[in-house]
């Protein structure tokens, strides 16, 4: 059994090298979503001016342009004041989604002052093309890694069997 220990360790090491690792972030804000990701996950996307604040903390926006999901010229959105204070009278590019029945801008999303976010509008898709539930890691890498690991295991097993059968090696 001791003879196979180094080979087993080598196999585990090779598998660790070829197996695709998932994405890991210390905070959900470590990686800002791309424009297409943010657009796809949002219920509403619009350019609007902050014109008021509701008692529940939501900001009322007067919509200037809408790209997704806006049905009226005024809309209330819950925007976190912790990361981005909303200034009344300022124009914003807002991405928001329904959360517990309230339109809410993502805490670490792309909602920004209009001057900072207007470049996003150049790459807005005409329709959302990101399918829901798409895998985090490409399956082709996982399948390729499994095939390479299987070939390596078969070759290693054949080598061990050949060494065991060779009478000169004992």
Cβ atoms of residues 97 and 106 within 8 Å:
yes
pLDDT band for position 118 (cuts 50, 70, 90)? confident
Cβ atoms of residues 37 and 27 within 8 Å:
no
Higher pLDDT, residue 28 or 90 = 90
- Model pLDDT for residues 11-48, shown as the tens digit of each residue: 776 777 777 766 655 555 667 888 889 999 999 999 99
The residue among 55, 56, 58 whose CA lies nearest residue 74 is 58
CA distance 68 to 43: 7
Q: Which residues of 44-76 are buried (b: 16+ CB within 10 A; e: fewer)?
A: bbbbbebeeeeeeebbbbebeebbbebeeeebb
- Which whole number is the average pLDDT over 118-140? 57
CA distance 89 to 31: 29
- Model pLDDT for residues 49-81, shown as the tens digit of each residue: 999 988 888 899 999 999 998 888 999 998 865
Tracing tokens 């994405």 back to the chain, one arrives at 23
- Model pLDDT for residues 142-163, shown as the tens digit of each residue: 677 778 888 888 888 888 888 8
Average pLDDT of the chain to the nearest whole number: 78
Check: pTM over 0.85? Answer yes or no.
no
């Amino acid at each position: 059994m001791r003879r196979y220990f180094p080979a087993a360790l080598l196999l585990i090491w090779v598998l660790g090298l070829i197996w695709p690792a998932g994405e890991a972030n210390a905070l959900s804000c470590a990686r800002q979503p791309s424009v297409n990701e943010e657009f796809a996950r949002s219920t509403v996307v619009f350019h609007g001016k902050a014109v008021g604040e509701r008692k529940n903390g939501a900001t009322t926006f007067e919509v200037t342009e809408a790209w997704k999901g806006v049905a009226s010229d005024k809309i209330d959105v819950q925007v976190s004041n912790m990361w981005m204070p909303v200034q009344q009278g300022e124009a914003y590019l807002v991405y928001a989604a329904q959360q517990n029945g309230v339109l809410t801008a993502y805490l670490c999303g792309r909602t920004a002052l209009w001057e900072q976010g207007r470049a996003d509008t150049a790459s807005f898709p005409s329709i959302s093309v990101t399918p829901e539930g798409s895998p985090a890691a490409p399956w082709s890498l996982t399948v390729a890694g499994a095939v390479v690991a299987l070939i390596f295991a078969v070759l290693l097993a054949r080598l061990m069997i050949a060494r065991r059968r060779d009478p000169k090696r004992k």
